[in-house]
Structure 1
């Protein structure tokens, strides 16, 4: 660093050139000067240019399985902005993704962000969107139904946009579902649940707690059609009574093992005892 006196008598600072690395006399093929952490650029620094070249020459497979696959969803979205190559690699990673859990990012994921992921993630088998109420709109649920038809597990608890129409379209397209959580989806009624029972007959686990529109009609339809169902949660569905729950006792094809009926005051102790005799665990406490 040297100080030079200007014409008005004051001193101005002048940075001496950085000579810590040798200069590259050849053309490295980069048009832009990319700054690096020690003050030089890829364009002027031979060492940095060499390191950058080694990185960019890595095969796509190495970048995807050793870098892209280790990142969280928000980081993947940022990585897409780096360059066209990473944009393509992230989308390729989404296309082969088997499981996606956005529950812990529920406060960050937007409707547009979820839509962009889902439209590429056609191979998803497991999708968890609990509490992602801003992102799990009816439009996005319809996109899931269209693009993710191989789903085996889908959780949408506390998503306010889950409607009977969206659930019907999902059940018609995602017929291989084995686990479905629609707890605290207050717009859901018998119409949607009955369509689940008709189209998703491979269900093994279904959560409907605090869905106040669910009645005996839904439970009876599930008992008659979903013979693989092993766990059913209708806690706080106060319209569920003995009338439908008794179906799991009389239906010989039923595989039910666990029934949650907390605050279902219409289910009496004598029916609970019959369920126990059938080998069904009844949880009416929590």
Structure 2
């Protein structure tokens, strides 16, 4: 005769709760650690926890991937990205992608950043095996070219997000295929793909009419024709466009964004030296209720006029970078409190604005009460000592960067751009 269960002979929980009820309990657990602890109770709970797991981050290896696919059949998101400074040779290879294509058929999101061991052969298999894929990140997978990613575009027509940053072998040919096959594409990250031209961006616009996020920074063959085309077609869908160091981009692009993209939140035009005050003023007025982050360092034609217009009209602006714009003076920040609304500005980068003085910094502190980060590096008239002598009191919550190389970035500020 078996001994009665501890606790007064009550029913065992596994005899009372069904699998569906245990799944309901699992869904109510918050942190990942709690959900993992759920699976430690017994084999039944582990099986249920495994079947409900939707995200996995793992290292490479075909055998391991097969075991993971068998244990976690419901996985929708798989991250095999490698740390560029701590990669394990050879890391992810084409054999791994073959297993993923055959064993994770329901995958929606796949991240393969910095997987330098994969090639077009492996990536093409993803196109054959993952018809439900919606997001693919192969940033800095340097062996990839149009050939492998065209197979993905043709086989994964539900693709909404594609990041190919640093894949320098990519050309306009991929964008042409995307425009014909991936009509739901919303997010394209192609920074550093410097073989892309206006023709490719225009082709993309022909078929992909709902682009929300576009990063073609350092694509120095792209200029006004491509940007104007994508602005007109994407129109109110476009919320972020990054054009860092696209030297051919000028005022025509900004006027087009102002005319069509009234929901624009993030604009990066650093290094676009042909952009002037007039187009920035038009943008400030057109996107006054949407613009949140604007990076325009090294836009050497920018003056106090356009900066004042931005600060006095854009109610939601939280971050702005005018570093190395040497025509900016204290005047840009005078009477900032008279804008008619409480500024939300949290990040202001004015490094190497050589005409700026302590008086201008004092105006900044008075005008922008929410400021969390102020970059005044390489401003010869603004130093820690000069600010202290003038009695400038920086808020305790505001980090002020006086020193350091302009090549060094601060994560607390860069996340806004």
What TM-score results when the alignment is normalised by the length of structure 1? 0.69
In the alignment, which of 288, 291, 296 is matched to residue 256 of structure 1? 291
What's 2:159 paired with? 124
Q: Which has the higher contact order (CA 8 A, sep 6+)?
A: 1
Q: Report whether the alignment pairs 1:242 with 2:258.
A: no
In structure 1, the residue corresponding to 2:155 is in which secondary structure? coil
What's 1:86 paired with? 102
In the alignment, which of 101, 119, 137 is matched to residue 171 of structure 2? 137
In the alignment, which of 194, 201, 223 is matched to residue 160 of structure 1? 194
Q: Following the alignment from structure 1 to structure 2, what is the Cα–Cα distance between the partners of residues 68 and 271? A: 46
Closer/same/farther in 2, CA of residues 76 and 146 from structure 1, 3 Å limit: farther
Q: Contact between 1:262 and 1:283, CA under 8 Å: does it hold in 2?
A: yes
CA apart distance, 1:163: 1.1
Q: Report whether the alignment pairs 1:205 with 2:227.
A: no
What's 2:322 paired with? 284
CA apart distance, 1:207: 0.3
What's 1:102 paired with? 138
Closer/same/farther in 2, CA of residues 80 and 255 from structure 1, 3 Å limit: closer
Q: Contact between 2:180 and 2:207, CA under 8 Å: does it hold in 1?
A: yes
CA apart distance, 1:121: 1.2
Q: Following the alignment from structure 1 to structure 2, what is the Cα–Cα distance between the partners of residues 127 and 238? A: 29
What's 1:174 paired with? 208
Q: Following the alignment from structure 1 to structure 2, what is the Cα–Cα distance between the partners of residues 252 and 115? A: 36
In structure 2, the residue corresponding to 1:96 is in which secondary structure? coil
Q: Contact between 2:191 and 2:218, CA under 8 Å: does it hold in 1?
A: yes
Q: Contact between 2:275 and 2:301, CA under 8 Å: does it hold in 1?
A: yes
1:16-55 paired onto structure 2 within 5 Å: none
Q: Following the alignment from structure 1 to structure 2, what is the Cα–Cα distance between the partners of residues 114 and 76? A: 16
In structure 1, the residue corresponding to 2:209 is in which secondary structure? coil
1:180-195 paired onto structure 2 within 5 Å: 180-195=214-229
Q: Which runs of 5+ in 1 are unaligned?
A: 1-57
1:68-107 Cα shifts (integer Å, max 9, x gaps): 965749958425768xx939955564211111000142x2
- Over aligned residues, Cα RMSD in angstroms? 3.1
Who wins on radius of gyration, i.e. which is larger? 1
1:117-176 Cα shifts (integer Å, max 9, x gaps): 222111111110001111x22111211111111111101111122111110111121111
- Between Structure 1 and Structure 2, how many residues are aligned? 224
Q: Following the alignment from structure 1 to structure 2, what is the Cα–Cα distance between the partners of residues 271 and 91? A: 47
Q: Following the alignment from structure 1 to structure 2, what is the Cα–Cα distance between the partners of residues 145 and 241? A: 32
What's 1:39 paired with? none
